[in-house]
Structure 1
């Protein structure tokens, strides 16, 4: 340690046969002993937040603390943020459908050199090339890049899909798949999800990159988390939702929510009322705003605050 700053040193790769906390702790002890490192000199530990590592009963961190109570465990800030993003993305059906659509578009286009060529020809000169369109379940920088590419080139991707759907030389299954993907992209809910997640993941990715910088300390980590929390909290109002809806208007032909024309609630009146059933319409916008938009933000805020 120089000037009070921790210095990272790589020791070795270790082959493991199991993933339980007891086995991993045994391997850790073997490596430390082989390199002449005394566990009693440890003053901190940090790694990903998987239960076998961070578990308070049988995880590696608690086993280390039993031997050396001064080896305080600090959760990995970057991994914690990753888990927060995963929880928010899996919190509601519309979010799951949106990320599934991005992957489906990438799979469809990349499966054929001809389709990929049509896509690239449809992109305007300012659009982000879609080599990064494939999203990742674990690497949120990849999801951020995918969402940015999808958002920037939204209309161009739809145009490419419609071109493929109109090609007589393609098989019926290809034409139907292209039409289905284009129709999903024309949905109001998809366009709003595109605008929302492009912003959210852009901010999450910027914080995540900062958290992985050399020399960062817990105080700076907290500042980044607080800033992300405040930004996310600032989105929880009608004005910001309307702003995302306005952005969506530029991506689709018209703003029509899927639930706008559905009969969603029926109430039969009491015995002393008229026996006719009363239909209670529910706004598609309100349903999406509450059950999807606010739900995603609330889950992300909850996970960040943990």
Structure 2
């Protein structure tokens, strides 16, 4: 097909990075994924592929796009801290500060209307 810039992959249950990468790949290429699914739905000679593509297309709606955007944002912050926590030489004090900063970021996201308004506006535009 050759439409996607990054390959879409499932995630491994044990790694936050896997979730962040899978979510970001889908989020950044949702238009291309949608186009590819539409092509499969129209051009495939395999009924199961057509059915699966149509089912997935029905799921890509405003709610899905908003949820994907929110999770992408959250997982990006978590993965950044997760990677830093695995660095050699990190102290307990540094780790605590990073975790506290992450907690503050997530709390601010939860309480801030601005982030959600921006996400919902983008989803309306792209959905």
TM-score, normalization by structure 2: 0.91
State yes or no: 1:197 paired with 2:74. no
Of Structure 1 and Structure 2, the greater helix share is in 2
| Counterpart for residue 31 of structure 2 | 155
What are the equivalent positions in structure 2 for 1:211-250 lying under 5 Å apart?
211-236=85-110, 237-250=112-125
Shift of 1:251: 3.0
Structure-2 separation of matches of 1:151 and 1:219 = 34
1:244 shift after superposition: 1.1
> How far apart are the structure 1 equivalents of 2:3 and 2:83?
32
CA offsets 1:171-229 (integer angstroms, 9 cap, x no match): 222211101101111x1111011111111111111100100011111100111011101
Counterpart of 1:87? none
Q: Is the 8 A contact 1:136 1:142 kept in 2?
A: yes
What does 1:93-242 align with in structure 2 at a 5 Å threshold?
118=1, 121-123=2-4, 127=5, 129-131=6-8, 133-167=9-43, 169-185=44-60, 187-236=61-110, 237-242=112-117
Give distance in 1, aligned partners of 2:25 and 2:83: 19
Equivalent residues, number: 126
Question: Within 2, Cα distance between the matches of 1:166 and 1:226?
Answer: 50
Greater relative contact order (Cα < 8 A, sep 6+): 2
- Which runs of no fewer than 5 residues in structure 2 stay unpaired? none
Backbone CA RMSD of aligned residues: 1.4
Conservation of the 8 A alpha-carbon contact between 1:135 and 1:146: yes
Q: TM-score, normalised by structure 1?
A: 0.40
Deviation at 1:166, TM superposition (A): 0.2
